[in-house]
């Protein structure tokens, strides 16, 4: 694997780690709160969408 690709993937992994750490700190009612003005209605639903994209 190319060294640049390794560095880039490390950044992606770290940013995901930070994001999921932040989300884990949110109260469940905030994480799942539905907001029609937010893409995919909630943070949880956005994560479901991203996970489904990875599965494809």
Tell me how many domains the chain contains: 1
Local confidence pLDDT in tens for the 56 residues of the chain: 688 999 999 999 999 899 999 999 999 999 999 998 988 999 999 999 999 998 98
Q: What was the pLDDT predicted at 52?
A: 94
Question: Which residue range is the domain that position 49 belongs to?
Answer: 3-55
The count of C-alpha atoms lying within 13 angstroms of the C-alpha of 29, restricted to the half-sphere facing its C-beta, is: 0
- Tokens standing for 3? 């060294």
* Global pTM value: 0.72
Q: What was the pLDDT predicted at 24?
A: 94
46-53: long-range contacts (C-beta < 8 A, 24 or more apart)? 47/23
């Amino acid at each position: 694997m190319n060294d640049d690709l390794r560095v880039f993937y490390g950044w992606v992994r770290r940013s995901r780690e930070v994001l999921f750490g932040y989300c884990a700190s949110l109260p469940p009612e905030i994480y799942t709160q539905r907001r029609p003005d937010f893409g995919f209605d909630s943070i949880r639903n956005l994560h479901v969408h991203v996970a489904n994209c990875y599965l494809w």
